[in-house]
Copies of this chain bind each other. A is one copy, B any other.
Amino acid sequence: MDTLETRELRYFMAVAEELHFGRAAERLGMAQPPLSRAIQQLERRLGVSLLERNRRGVSLTDAGEVLLHEGRAALDATTAAARRTQRAGGAQMSGGPRKRLVLAVKAGASHELLHKLLDAYAAEPDAVDIEVLPSGTCDQEGMLRDGRADVALMHAPFNSLAGFDSEELMTEGQIAVLPAGHRLAAQRALSLTDISDIPDLPLARWSRRGTYPPGPGPEIHDQTQLAQLIALGRTVAVFPDSARAWLWAEHTAVPLTDAPPVVTHIAWPAHSRSLALAGLIRTATRL
């Protein structure tokens, strides 16, 4: 059969990610035996073995690998359905905000564009409330996928637009943000190689899903933290032009000649049919 209950998917995802029944069960807030049994039943129903039970641990079969990816998408779509439904209906009963759109943005990025967009949209006759949801972790894709957001500002090439509809809004170059007193801060322009190997100024390393790329630079997970470390002369970082908006007095921005341009898009789930969303997109493309 091709049923496949949400609960079973949740269970399998937990096991597939932990590769350990005990820890997975703990994460799910249940005991280990029923979890084992549920996975066995799932395997029997699908007629496919998903996990290789080696002594000492568990590993995924090819089919398990497929279910891990496809199941993630399915679970995201399911929770998105629940979230968006609640948002659509919450309005009509509580006297709260009539209708809301949740717009995911990268915290601190494209301030000016965002401001213009929100102002222009608010002036539209049929505008609804826009809730801006800033994400420090650059996870606008996930937010669209699991329904935490209805629409997002994304930045190629950092975000992938795969699976979404999108419109291009703005293209900008990138800058190196240096301590004001540093010798390179006096330059007119720099290249990526100029700043990638400065012994006294190692490039900052952003956290990606909790892990950091290797290198000598400080580990960063927060823009303010980074701004401070730059101001203290400890590191250097690369940002889109629009980051000039939040620079401190102790910072100096120098254009990068060979950094890839950053393209800001407005993106939304491909199947979306919301009129409010269509209005926001229309406004955005007219900016």
A window 49-105: CB within 8 A of B: 49-50, 61-63, 65-67, 69-71, 73-74, 76-86, 88-90, 92-93
Most B CB contacts (10 A, CB to CB) among A70, A71, A90, A163 go to A70
Bound CA span A89–B45, Å: 13
- In the complex, the answer to whether A62 meets B89 with C-beta atoms within 8 Å is yes
Which residues from B are CB-within-8-Å of A82?
2-4, 46
State the Cβ distance, A218 to closest chain B Cβ, in Å: 33
Residue contact A5 to B5, C-beta cutoff 8 Å: yes
Considering the complex, give the chain B residue whose CB is closest to the CB of A162: B270
- Which 8 A/B pairs are nearest by Cβ-Cβ distance? A63-B89, A48-B89, A163-B270, A70-B81, A162-B270, A74-B77, A66-B88, A77-B77
A-B contact pairs, 13 of them (CB 8 A): A3-B82, A5-B6, A6-B78, A9-B81, A47-B89, A48-B93, A61-B89, A62-B88, A63-B85, A63-B88, A66-B88, A70-B147, A163-B271
A167 within 8 A of B: no
B residues near A83, Cβ cutoff 8 Å: 2
Q: Say if the beta carbon of A165 comes within 8 Å of chain B.
A: yes
Given A6-B4, A165-B162, A271-B163, answer yes or no on A81-B73 (Cβ-Cβ < 8 Å). Answer: yes
With a CB–CB cut-off of 8 A, which chain B residues contact A76? 77
Chain B residues whose CB sits within 8 angstroms of the CB of A274 once the complex forms: 66
Q: Which residues of B contact A80 (CB under 8 A)?
A: 70, 73-74
Contact of A9 among B7, B78, B162 (CB under 8 A): B78
| A85 lies within 8 A of B48 (CB) | yes
Contact of A286 with B by CB under 8 A: no
A183 sits at the interface (CB 8 A): no
Confirm or deny: A209 has a beta carbon within 8 angstroms of a beta carbon on chain B: no
Docked pose: A270 CA to B165 CA in angstroms: 11
Contact yes or no, B5 A7, CB < 8 A: yes
| A273 beta carbon closer than 8 Å to chain B | yes
Q: Please state if A74 and B81 are interface contacts (CB–CB under 8 Å).
A: yes
Asked if B163 contacts A90 (CB within 8 A), the reply is no
Which residue in chain B gives the minimum CB-CB distance to A5? B6
Additional 4 contacts, C-beta under 8 A, given A3-B6, A61-B92: A5-B5, A48-B85, A48-B89, A66-B84
Q: In the complex, what residues of B have CB within 8 A of residue A73's CB?
A: 77, 80-81, 269, 271
Q: Are A78 and B74 in contact (CB under 8 A)?
A: yes
The answer to whether A71 and B62 have CB atoms under 8 Å apart is: no
- The answer to whether A62 touches B92, judged by C-beta atoms less than 8 angstroms apart, is yes
In the bound complex, CA of A7 to CA of B7 (Å): 10
Q: Is the CB of B79 within 8 A of A63?
A: no
